[in-house]
Structure 1
Amino acid sequence: MASLEVDIFSRRITVDLHGYATGTAISVAREKIWEAYEHGFRHVRLIHGNTGHGAGGTGTIRSALLELLNSGGLGRWAMDRECENHRFRDTYMDIALRPNPVPGDADWTDMPLTDY
């Protein structure tokens, strides 16, 4: 089920995207990557699950996340796609964030309700 874990010691958050449709998962991932950057964190682990095709051949959360990264849709917060600090695995990916020179300490927003 969808969840957010914040590890202040390793400066990494883990976002489990299970239970979200692809569009919702992308919105949640963008929001949490932005929040992690704003807090001065260095990595975001996105758990996307199985790499197979989605229902009806619509693709997967993983492929949509890769497209978002490749297209520069995370460019203000995430390192470039070629950065060797990113990690891509079968069920998750670790996104390396750019350093934030002025991190904040705002509250983390709640995860939205799952789609299914």
Structure 2
Amino acid sequence: MSDQLDSDRNYDPMIFDVMRETANRVVATYVAWEDEAADPREAAHWQAERFRTRHEVRAVDPDSRRAVQAKIAQLREELAAMPEHAPAIPWSRWQRQGSRGMFGRGCGKRVRFAHMAQPGN
């Protein structure tokens, strides 16, 4: 068990940089969506998603290879699912969720971008 713990703690720290850079790409998409928002409520939503992403990345244990790799996988999946332009926000659903936001922080599930209405569709 000690060897397993050591292998989790002793790893190439460059993957931590990969995690941070992948997070930067996700955040940059949210910034772009915030900039193209049609109203302040929409802009605030994308800003909140940006803050959520940064908070989640900061919460990852930098000394755990497994934790860093898991966050990289999640961020890559999120980035791959993000369209170029902001998806339409289903406001009635978002309002029912209240302060938890669109992704429902406590629920452990994320809305897939592909299922959201795209502008012009």
Question: TM-score by structure 1 length?
Answer: 0.30
Give 1 or 2: higher strand fraction: 1
Give 1 or 2: higher helix fraction: 2
Q: Which of the pair has the greater relative contact order for Cα pairs under 8 Å at 6+ separation?
A: 1
Question: TM-score by structure 2 length?
Answer: 0.29
